[in-house]
């Protein structure tokens, strides 16, 4: 019942957000679709698709290095396949099987233990989130726009805290369990869970080359993702400077983490709010729709790849997912 209620509440948030967008921009819908019909420069759209693909490839490269550190030997192609498959399940089957769960099912067939699978997925997410958050604060500090709700001093303070904590972990990873031991206000059972969580990740924290590699791949993936947004803007002749996307895209990514169906609705609302600072509402809406088309096109591509390899192929993933779900 809890899972069903959680799914219902996320769906309600997404549907409500989309309904509000349609309601408030109902007078701009026809103009936005005319822009999409007549003004899209497909050269830039193809470049956006290429940048988006390379961003996913960089994400797969990050995961490939993490798996190698856990002695899970498989090809980069298989890692890229799981990355695409995760997008498909996150976008189209969010209520039953999330993308991370599908990755876990697939990885569990090749890993020594479920703890290894869990730690790989956590460190992969953690690496990406650190870069997104860092870019958001850094761009917010450097690009002080009138609509920016975060003061520059607060952004620099957040950057300082993140940098100091990250440096401390990099130099002395054992500082983490020391911090946990000082949290005496937490229930004993919760402290045990925190220590178990650290134990599953301790191998990564002590592997400095891997940490650097993860951050480099995460930065590359995020920069390519930002470049894809910029190319989408160019395809519609949007008057947004390239540097502005380094603030907007991480913010949109963080907004999309709100409880919803894979960010659907809240992501579009956040993008519309930011894009309208630089262009008319109808063009901002057209750009938001075009970004959605790109993302869901790659979701369909991941679904087709899964159909060919996972259902019709010989990796047996389809049966494993049905059994585990």
Handedness of CA 78, 219, 247, 280 (dihedral sign): negative
pLDDT value at residue 322? 45
Residue extents of the structural domains in the chain = 2-22+29-324
233 pLDDT band (50/70/90 cuts)?
Answer: very high
92 pLDDT band (50/70/90 cuts)?
Answer: confident
pLDDT at 12 over 90: no
pLDDT value at residue 165? 67
pLDDT at 72 over 80: no
In the predicted model, what is the mean pLDDT of residues 197-211?
A: 71
At 123-136, the pLDDT tens digits run 888 888 888 888 88
Residues comprising the chain, all counted: 325
Mean pLDDT of the chain: 80
Write down the pTM of the prediction. 0.83
At 24-46, the pLDDT tens digits run 888 888 999 999 999 999 999 99
Residue 296 CB partners (closer than 8 Å, separation 6+): 91
pLDDT at 224 over 50: yes
Could you give the CA distance from residue 92 to residue 33 in angstroms, rounded to a whole number? Answer: 24
Handedness of CA 143, 150, 259, 188 (dihedral sign): positive
């Amino acid at each position: 019942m809890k899972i069903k209620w959680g799914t219902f509440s996320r769906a309600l948030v997404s549907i409500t957000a989309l309904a509000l967008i349609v309601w408030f921009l109902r007078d701009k819908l026809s103009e936005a679709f005319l822009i999409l019909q007549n003004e899209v420069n497909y050269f830039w759209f193809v470049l956006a698709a290429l940048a988006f693909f390379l961003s996913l490839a960089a994400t797969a490269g990050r995961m490939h290095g993490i798996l190698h550190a856990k002695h899970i030997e498989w090809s980069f192609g298989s890692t890229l396949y799981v990355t695409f498959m995760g997008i498909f399940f996150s976008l189209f089957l969010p209520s039953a099987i999330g993308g991370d769960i599908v990755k876990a099912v697939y990885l569990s067939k090749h890993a020594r233990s479920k703890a290894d699978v869990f730690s790989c997925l956590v460190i992969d997410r953690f690496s990406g989130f650190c870069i997104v958050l860092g870019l958001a604060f850094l761009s917010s500090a450097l690009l002080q726009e009138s609509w920016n709700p975060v003061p520059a001093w607060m952004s620099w303070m957040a950057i300082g805290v993140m940098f100091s904590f990250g440096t401390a972990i990099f130099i002395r990873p054992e500082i983490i369990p020391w911090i946990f031991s000082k949290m005496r206000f937490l229930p004993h059972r919760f402290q045990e869970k925190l220590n178990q969580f650290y134990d599953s990740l301790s191998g990564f924290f002590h592997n400095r080359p891997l940490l650097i590699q993860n951050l480099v791949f995460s930065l590359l993936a995020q920069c390519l993702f930002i470049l894809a947004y910029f190319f989408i803007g160019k395809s519609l002749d949007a008057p947004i400077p390239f540097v502005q996307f380094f603030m907007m895209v991480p913010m949109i990514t963080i907004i999309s983490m709100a409880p919803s169906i894979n960010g659907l609705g809240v992501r579009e609302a956040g993008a519309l709010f930011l894009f309208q600072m630089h262009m008319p509402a109808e063009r901002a809406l057209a750009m938001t729709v075009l970004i959605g088309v790109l993302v869901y096109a790659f979701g369909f591509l991941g679904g087709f790849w899964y159909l060919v390899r996972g259902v019709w192929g010989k990796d047996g993933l389809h049966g494993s997912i049905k059994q585990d779900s």
